Amino acid sequence: MKSMTLVSGSRMVALAFVLAFVSGATALQAQTYTVLYSYGTNTGDPRNPETNGLMSQGRDGNLYSTTPLGGATNAGAAFKITSTGSLTKLFDFASGDAAVGGLTLGFDGNLYGTTAGGGTSLVGTVFKTTPGGQRTTLWNFTSFDDGANPLFPPFQGQDGNFYGVNPDDRTGDYGLVYKMTSAGVLTVLGDFSSTNGNNPNLPTQGTDGNFYGTTRFGGFNGTGCQIGCGVVYKLTPGGKITVLHTFQGFPTEGALPVGVLAQGNDGNFYGVTYQGGANNQGTIFKITPSGVYTLLYAFHDVAGSDGINPWVGLALGTDGNFYGTAQGGTHNAGVLFKVTPAGTESILYNFCSLSFCADGFFPQTPLMQHTNGKFYGSVESGGANGLNGGVFYSLDMGLKPFVGLVTWTGKVGKTVEILGQGFTGTTKVSFNGTPASFTVVSDTYLTATLPTGATTGFVNVTTPGGTLKSNRKFLVTPSIVSFSPTSGPVGTVVTVTGNSFTGATKVSFGGIKATTFSVDSYTQITATVPTGAVTGKIQVTTPGGTATSATSFTVTP
């Protein structure tokens, strides 16, 4: 294991000499980069982690992912690795499986992934694996009705279904989005058509319940983009795809967006493009859920002073900043960078800063923040085994440990899954200050029941080592149980009963907003039927979401 303070190289080396000796240089600041493991060290090891390669924290605190190479047949392997660098192979992929996407954690504690090949039609599968490595195929793609060759694993939405994308689809080979139940029943949600995108990247679920993502191509045919520069899209749970922004490309905008979008603490989404911007070396951008686009930063590698052409998206840190990887840098071997929500970018580390690239080169997989506060990632090559290896590393920015919410939205009574460390001996779990009953399952995993009285806010877990705060707010979803009267003319005062009404911002009748309402208590709202109201369901909106009545209120003359 090698640990080092982040350094800035004293000279640039050409790509062709990336394995050559490079002199060290001076420390930048307090953050620390540490090589934890060199892939390919042991016979049958996974090696050469590549683009997408999502890494997820399991209930046991270990990190899980896949590689497309290495393993017993050199066709890749699934693995888990501790936060200190002890690797265990879970299973080997077969020749032709082409497993490139990594793994995501499900609510059941299993890990989920895809292969771009293999299966009954040789065009890919969806699978799950237990933390111990027992693999089960959930779906075999056919290419006719369900697409083919997935490059990303699916992720589990807060409704319990899994969502994923394929670059090929049923209608024109532009890609599709699919939904799969936990039992493995797959349906296609929506197809891309080139004008609304081409070759989708995996979306992320926003706090409003919709899904937001990018496509690498499609949309307007901007400068230098032969098949479109890509789009940002919104997908509703019902499958409607809306283009929020079409990239224009060099020199005014980004082009060819890559990776998964990250939602910031401000509710906006942040991402990167592989090309475009003033220097055509890639960009960092922000976009609101309604589609207001801002170019935050254009990469400009002059004499190795910056990164270029990022391969993957950003990771939101608990400090509110975003962290990512790119090519370029002092040694043309890649960089780690940080960017603020305002667009101030700084280089944290230049790869290949040690002799013979012991620290690795070509970071192609996204960063992820462990609940211990550190960031983890992998590079495609370098380390003890050179071109046939790559390394697993940590980046310590001095951020405090926290708790991670596997489930982060729900109604009173919901079981909430929480990841962390040091849970043994926990004395309290609270939701925005409201105490909850809880069960410590292990030192790294506990469950809690969302209590009556809870409101949208952060979760705190009090352990013998101190209080840990969640990295995101838990959204307490309101619910409507009944309302009275059930009919009446405009001006009727209606009493709505239910749960989690504190902080309500809107009440509507048949889609028409009530101009007068009051939150009487956590369980009751009174609202006046507004002018223009029509017969329809009552809705109550709070910071945690929107509740819809089971039956309609009838507006009478």
| 512 CB-contact burial (10 Å; exposed 0-12 / middle 13-18 / buried 19+) | middle
Query: Does 412 map to a domain?
Result: yes
Angle among Cα 161, 163, 168 to the nearest 5 degrees reads 145
pLDDT exceeds 60 at position 24: no
300-313 pLDDT tens trace:
988 889 999 999 99
Q: How far is CA 535 from the centre of its chain?
A: 40
Query: Does 435 map to a domain?
Result: yes
pLDDT given at position 353? 78
- How many domains does the chain contain in total? 2
Q: Name the residue among 253, 261, 313, 314 with its Cα closest to residue 280.
A: 253
User: Would you say the C-alpha torsion 407, 408, 413, 419 has a positive or negative sign?
Assistant: positive
Rounded Cα distance, 95 and 343, in Å: 43
CATH number of the domain where residue 470 is located: 2.60.40.10
Which of 476, 495, 528 is at the close of a domain? 476
Rounded Cα distance, 369 and 317, in Å: 7
DSSP bridge partners of 488: 555
197-213 pLDDT tens trace:
999 999 999 999 999 99
Query: Does 286 map to a domain?
Result: no
Query: Does 544 map to a domain?
Result: yes
Both 470 and 433 in one domain: the answer is yes
Question: Which H or E run contains 152?
Answer: none
Both 457 and 487 in one domain: the answer is no
Q: How many CB atoms lie within 10 A of CB 518?
A: 12
337-394 pLDDT tens trace:
999 999 999 999 999 977 668 999 999 899 999 999 999 999 999 999 988 899 999 9
Length of the chain: 557
Both 463 and 499 in one domain: the answer is no
pLDDT given at position 135? 97
Query: Does 502 map to a domain?
Result: yes
Which of 476, 499, 523 is at the close of a domain? 476
Both 468 and 525 in one domain: the answer is no
Q: What is the span of the domain harbouring residue 454?
A: 404-476
